[in-house]
Amino acid sequence: MNEMNNNIASLARIDLNLFRVFVAIYKEKNLTRASEQLFLSQPAVSHALARLRDHFNDPLFIRDGHGVVPSPLAKRLWPKIEQSLQLMHQAIQSTHDFVPARDLKHLTIAMNDEYEGIFLPSIIQHLTQFNPNLQLNSVRIDRKNLRHELSTGKIDFAIDVQHSVEDSIGYECLTKDQFVVISRKQHPLLSKTNLTKEIYLEAKHITVSSRPTGRVFEDFFLSKQGIKRTISFRCQQYETAIRLITQMDHLLTIPQCQIAHFKDTYPQIKVHPLPIDIVGYQMNLYWDQQKSHEHQIVWCKSQILQLMNRL
| 89 against 107, higher pLDDT | 107
- Read off the pLDDT of residues 285-298 as tens digits, 9 standing for 90 and up: 999 998 888 889 99
User: Which pLDDT score, from 0 to 100, does residue 40 have?
Assistant: 87
User: Which pLDDT score, from 0 to 100, does residue 93 have?
Assistant: 59
Coil, strand or helix at 246: coil
Longest Cα–Cα distance in the chain: 91
Q: Where in the chain is the domain with CATH 1.10.10.10?
A: 16-94
Q: Where in the chain is the domain with CATH 3.40.190.10?
A: 100-176+282-309, 179-273
> What class has domain 179-273?
alpha beta
Cβ atoms 253, 116 nearer than 8 A: no
Q: Region 7-31: what's the mean pLDDT?
A: 76
DSSP secondary structure letters along 114-166: HHHHHHHHHHHHHHTTT-TT-EEEEEE--GGGHHHHHHTTS-SEEEEE-----
Across the chain, where does the E strand assignment appear?
61-64, 67-70, 106-111, 135-140, 157-161, 169-177, 179-184, 204-208, 230-235, 250-255, 269-273, 281-288
Assess whether pLDDT exceeds 80 at residue 282. Answer: yes
User: Which pLDDT score, from 0 to 100, does residue 212 have?
Assistant: 80
Name the pLDDT band for 65 (thresholds 50, 70, 90).
confident
Q: Does domain 16-94 have CATH number 1.10.10.10?
A: yes
Single-letter amino acid, residue 34: A
User: Which pLDDT score, from 0 to 100, does residue 8 have?
Assistant: 38
Rounded distance between C-alpha atoms, residue 270 and residue 195, angstroms: 11
Q: Region 111-121: what's the mean pLDDT?
A: 91
Q: Does domain 100-176+282-309 have CATH number 3.40.50.300?
A: no
User: Which pLDDT score, from 0 to 100, does residue 80 have?
Assistant: 86
> Minimal CA–CA distance to 128: which of 101, 108, 103?
101
User: Which pLDDT score, from 0 to 100, does residue 4 have?
Assistant: 39
Cβ atoms 61, 49 nearer than 8 A: yes
- Read off the pLDDT of residues 235-245 as tens digits, 9 standing for 90 and up: 999 999 999 99
Q: Region 190-206: what's the mean pLDDT?
A: 92
- Read off the pLDDT of residues 119-159 as tens digits, 9 standing for 90 and up: 999 999 999 999 999 999 999 999 989 998 998 888 999 99
User: Which pLDDT score, from 0 to 100, does residue 271 have?
Assistant: 95
Backbone phi, psi, residue 266, to 5°: -125, 80
